[in-house]
């Protein structure tokens, strides 16, 4: 091209000369031409996320907005040039040893921004770190361990500490120890391959044409202009999709490509396959779709209103109804000394993993290989096979950049697989950030009418709640948030009388799906708000009110299931001195305050159920010829720490070094279905199955008096052993009352939030969150606290900022993704009471702090300024409107 430019620069110590167009950005050169895929892309060239950070002439820059033409003569360093797994940089060592690497997608950018900072300042303050990493986003950690990693790296660089000293302090045993995650160093050095890092020779790139209507008839789809665009191989519409063209989760209702109706903004209507991604996107923009708008119903109440119309032809908009009845709530409420009540709503939220919803499909013979991002790979494979009418599918999962429930459902796998089957070629789909948001499921909005009754001593006598769950355009997993909210409805408390009905409705507002906690976070917001209101009405301290109403062994949960152990009051005792200190601090601050800032402290609790009755987990372990052990388990680890859990448990039970344990966990070909890595179930179910398999193997080794492959063979023993765990509980709950078997065990949490509220603007800032938790013996403390800290951060976003609005939420700025400047101090207190049905006494922990954070924050807002927030998120406008008149 006449306007192309020759650019010479040095990259990772090697001189390069390239000829580029004036518009080419550095990230495209690095990833597409030089195949340096350690540099990641999330925000689609908007400079919002920092995942693409590299160093140019000693300064951290966003490579997605840096023109290649501007770096002539420059020295560029990417994460690959900083260090390797065998010879890592001190910063990479620090991120691994501090536990700052979870999913790992943001890690390379974080590390490069840290390198630029520490090159200039070897003793940074937290304020310095916030300034340097202000545009580097992380969804997993809540940033706490990012701070710890940078301070550790600085101490290494100053020579005050060394990685060797840190490693030497790690106890030489598998259990209860913060061993670095198995994949952490690969992620820290940019060697771990995520979906978009895979390049298949001859693969087509694809793009979709999406609906711009929330609900409409599709009158015509004109692809003629798109077909003529440069590089286009072909265009396909619904008529070209093989099979049923419908994804079934609970019911078959989600088209792969919409044919005659679009049900939500962003639905896929056509696919363009081209030689390059840019060509595919340009051609997709030329597809002309004509619509006839239909009635739009974006809330549950709109969807069941008298003038509502059915969204799908096969049934009403009300798609799930589940009652729960325990005792006689109506009579108890009539006799109550006090009743508090309200309407509470929570919003649709994008789970917001940084990695785009990438899928790559290729053929291995006649087998279609789908490289996707699922936490339930066997279910994903089955759904694709049914919808596409093609049984020969192998599902594989690369490293995954976070998920938080979003990958319990398909997002882009179905359109990519359909294209691969239609064009009979490998296909790669790397969607933009807005497309990733349109095509993926979201946290369900709840609309709850609730009342809580107490007697004259402040003891809860009844709870009454009716709630609607907005499942959006497709049912997906709508049954789950309804049933889980009801199962855990009484949370930490003894409630002798409950009347509840949970309903789910279709709407035209996005598509609901699994999200961290899946139901209890929404229900807990209503309950914990009412608990605070009741405590105030009774004149009882908020913590004492919760403690005196705690469930006790021998009493029944909302489902009537009798508990045998209940550690919640221990959590109250752990947090009490912090609560008393915070109340005193707040009172003293507000007494002296003369400006616009007021402080508040709030508390909230939850007891989260683990282990659905009759749930089953299964896997296998096998002794390899070199005497190592391979675990074959369909257990995803998109950042939670399941790889560490599996490795450390196996090493403990078999009394073997951890480096002899191998994992085969992300492919369907040699594993069996394990169910979703969601709801905090993997340590409980997957870990339990692993212990069973390892104990069988250990018994065989003990009997044969050998730990070797050859020894087992010589003794006539198998080298492969299956493991199974079945969660206790038989039968089903009564469908009219939901009384019956419930979650096998529970984890407990009580959380305290300290906030500042600007009474002039309504803006709220979280200063600190303190939490007390008991989830049984901790396998890896660093991974454990990392999950808790990340849950707190997501809970604060849920409370204050985050909302997904189809057609308006387009990127991380419009979503209000939490940055490091939104971070806050955390303090965690842990009690490790063994659970009888747990995995060596342990359970899962992923959801605890997510569930109780939002009501702790809104209760703190009320304490600060008198604004009772019933409708999330607690935006400045809502806080101002809720403040009592002066």
CB atoms within 10 A of CB 660: 17
Token pair of 755, please?
């906030």
Just list the catalytic residues.
Answer: 847
CB atoms within 10 A of CB 40: 29
- Beta-bridged to residue 273, according to DSSP, are 206, 234
Helix or strand or coil: residue 27? helix
Nearest-angstrom CA–CA distance, 852 and 848: 7
Give Cα 882 distance to the centre of its chain: 31
CA dihedral 543, 545, 548, 549 (to 10 degrees): -110
Nearest-angstrom CA–CA distance, 558 and 486: 7
Query: What is the bridge-based pairing of β-strands 75-77 and 5-11?
Result: parallel
DSSP state, residue 29: I
Residue among 127, 135, 54, 138 nearest 101 (CA)? 138
Long-range contacts of 366-369 (CB under 8 A, 24+ apart): 366/392, 367/392, 367/393, 367/394, 368/392, 368/393, 368/394, 368/417, 368/420, 368/421, 369/393, 369/394, 369/396
What separation in angstroms does the CA of 873 have from each of 305, 446, 769, 864? 25, 12, 18, 17
- The vertex-671 CA angle with 40 and 718, nearest 5°, equals 135
DSSP secondary structure letters along 783-827: HHHHHHHHHHHHHHHHHHT----TTT--SHHHHT---GGG--EEE
What separation in angstroms does the CA of 17 have from each of 11, 20, 38? 10, 10, 21
Tokens 């892309």 locate to 41
Residue 332's H or E segment, with its range, is: helix 329-335
What separation in angstroms does the CA of 391 have from each of 415, 429, 537, 679? 16, 22, 61, 29
Asked whether 598 and 880 are in contact (CB, 8 A), the reply is: no
Token pair of 471, please?
């499942």
Helical ranges in 722-780 per DSSP H = none
Residue among 707, 514, 532 nearest 604 (CA)? 532
Asked whether 751 and 849 are in contact (CB, 8 A), the reply is: yes
Asked whether 232 and 442 are in contact (CB, 8 A), the reply is: no
Residue among 723, 527, 462, 487 nearest 617 (CA)? 723
- The vertex-694 CA angle with 691 and 697, nearest 5°, equals 155
DSSP secondary structure letters along 148-211: HHHHHHHHHHTTS--HHHHHHTS-SSSTTS-PPPTTHHHHHTT-S-BGGG---TTPEEEEEEE-
DSSP secondary structure letters along 604-638: EEEEEEE--TT-EEEEEEEE-TTS-EEEE-----S
What separation in angstroms does the CA of 626 have from each of 47, 621, 718? 48, 14, 15
Query: What is the bridge-based pairing of β-strands 367-371 and 393-396?
Result: parallel
3-state DSSP percent of the chain in helix, strand and coil, to 5: 35, 25, 45
- Rg of the chain over CA atoms, in angstroms? 27
CB atoms within 10 A of CB 220: 8
Residue among 560, 603, 539, 332 nearest 454 (CA)? 332
């Amino acid at each position: 091209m006449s306007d192309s430019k020759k650019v010479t620069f040095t990259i990772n110590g090697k001189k390069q000369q390239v000829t580029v167009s004036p518009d080419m950005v550095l990230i495209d050169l690095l990833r597409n031409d030089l195949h340096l895929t350690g540099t990641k892309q999330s925000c689609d060239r908007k400079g919002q996320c920092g995942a693409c950070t590299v160093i140019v002439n000693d300064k951290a820059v966003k490579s997605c907005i840096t023109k290649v033409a501007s770096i002539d003569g420059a020295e560029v360093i990417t994460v690959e040039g900083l260090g390797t797994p065998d010879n890592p940089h001190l910063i990479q060592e620090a991120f691994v040893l501090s536990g700052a690497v979870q999913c790992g997608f943001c890690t390379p950018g974080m590390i490069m921004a840290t390198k630029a900072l520490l090159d200039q300042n070897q003793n940074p303050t937290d304020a310095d770190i916030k300034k340097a990493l202000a545009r580097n986003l992380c969804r997993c950690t809540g940033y706490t361990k990012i701070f710890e990693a940078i301070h550790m790296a600085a101490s290494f660089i100053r020579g005050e500490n060394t990685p060797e000293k840190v490693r030497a302090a790690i106890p030489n045993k598998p259990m209860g120890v913060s061993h670095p995650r198995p994949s952490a160093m690969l992620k820290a050095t940019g060697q771990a391959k995520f979906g978009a890092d895979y390049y298949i020779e001859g693969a087509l790139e694809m793009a979709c044409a999406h609906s711009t209507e929330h609900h409409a008839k599709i009158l015509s789809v004109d692809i003629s202009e798109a077909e003529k665009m440069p590089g286009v191989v072909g265009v396909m519409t619904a008529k070209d999709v093989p099979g049923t063209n419908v994804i079934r989760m609970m019911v078959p209702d989600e088209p792969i490509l919409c044919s005659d109706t679009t049900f939500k903004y962003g639905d896929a209507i056509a696919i363009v396959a081209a030689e390059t991604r840019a060509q595919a996107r340009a051609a997709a923009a030329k597809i002309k779709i004509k619509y006839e708008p239909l009635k739009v119903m974006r809330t549950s109440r709109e969807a069941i209103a008298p003038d509502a119309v059915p969204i799908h032809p096969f049934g009403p908009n009300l798609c799930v109804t589940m009652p729960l009845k325990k005792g006689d709530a109506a009579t108890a409420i009539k006799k109550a000394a006090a009743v508090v009540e309200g309407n509470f709503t929570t919003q649709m939220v994008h789970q917001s993993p940084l990695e785009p919803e990438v899928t790559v499909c290729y053929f291995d013979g006649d087998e279609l290989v789908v490289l996707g991002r699922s936490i339930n790979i066997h279910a994903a494979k089955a759904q694709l096979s049914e919808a596409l009418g093609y049984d020969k599918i192998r599902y594989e999962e690369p490293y995954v950049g976070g998920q938080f429930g979003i990958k319990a459902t398909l997002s882009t796998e179905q359109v990519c697989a359909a294209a691969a089957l239609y064009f009979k070629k490998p296909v790669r789909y790397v969607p933009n950030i807005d497309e990733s948001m349109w095509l993926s499921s979201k946290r369900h909005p709840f609309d709850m009418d609730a009342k809580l009754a107490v007697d004259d001593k402040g003891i809860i006598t009844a709870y009454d709640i009716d709630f609607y769950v907005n499942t959006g355009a497709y049912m997906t997993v709508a049954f789950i948030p309804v049933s889980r909210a009801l199962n855990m409805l009484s949370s930490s408390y003894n409630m002798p009388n409950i009347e509840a009905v949970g309903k789910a409705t279709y709407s035209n507002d996005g598509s609901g799906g699994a999200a961290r906690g899946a139901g209890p976070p929404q229900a807990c917001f209503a309950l914990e708000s009412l608990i605070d209101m009741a405590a105030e009405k009774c004149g009882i301290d908020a913590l004492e009110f919760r403690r005196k109403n705690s469930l006790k062994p021998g009493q029944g949960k909302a489902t009537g299931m009798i508990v045998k152990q209940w550690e919640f009051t221990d959590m109250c005792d752990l947090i009490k001195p912090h609560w008393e200190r915070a109340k005193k601090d707040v009172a003293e601050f507000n007494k002296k305050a003369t400006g616009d800032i007021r402080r508040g402290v709030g508390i909230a609790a939850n007891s989260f159920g683990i282990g659905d009755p009759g749930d089953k987990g299964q896997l296998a372990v096998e002794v390899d010829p070199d005497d190592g052990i391979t675990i074959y388990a369909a257990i995803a680890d998109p950042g939670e720490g399941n790889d560490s859990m599996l490795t450390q448990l196996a090493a403990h039970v078999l009394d073997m070094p951890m480096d002899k344990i191998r994992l085969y966990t992300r492919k369907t070909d040699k594993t069996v279905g394990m169910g979703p890595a969601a709801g905090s179930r993997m340590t409980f179910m997957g870990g339990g199955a692993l212990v069973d398999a390892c104990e069988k193997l250990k018994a065989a080794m003990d009997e044969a008096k050998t730990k070797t492959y050859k020894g087992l063979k010589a003794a006539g023993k198998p080298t492969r052993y299956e493991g199974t765990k079945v969660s206790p509980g038989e039968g089903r709950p009564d469908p009219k009352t939901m009384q019956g078997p419930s979650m096998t065990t529970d984890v407990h949490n009580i959380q305290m939030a300290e906030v500042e509220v600007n009474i002039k603007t309504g803006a709220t800032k979280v200063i600190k969150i303190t939490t007390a938790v008991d989830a049984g013996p901790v396998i890896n403390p660093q991974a454990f606290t990392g999950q808790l800290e990340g849950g707190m951060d997501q809970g604060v976003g849920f409370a204050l900022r985050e909302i997904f609005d189809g057609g308006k939420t387009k990127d991380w700025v419009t979503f209000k993704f939490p940055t490091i400047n939104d971070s806050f101090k955390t303090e965690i207190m842990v009690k490790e009471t063994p659970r009888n049905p747990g995995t060596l006494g342990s359970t899962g922990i992923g959801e605890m702090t997510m569930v109780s954070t939002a009501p702790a924050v809104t209760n703190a807002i009320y304490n600060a300024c008198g604004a009772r927030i019933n409708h999330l998120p607690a935006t400045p406008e809502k806080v101002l409107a809720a403040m009592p008149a002066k």
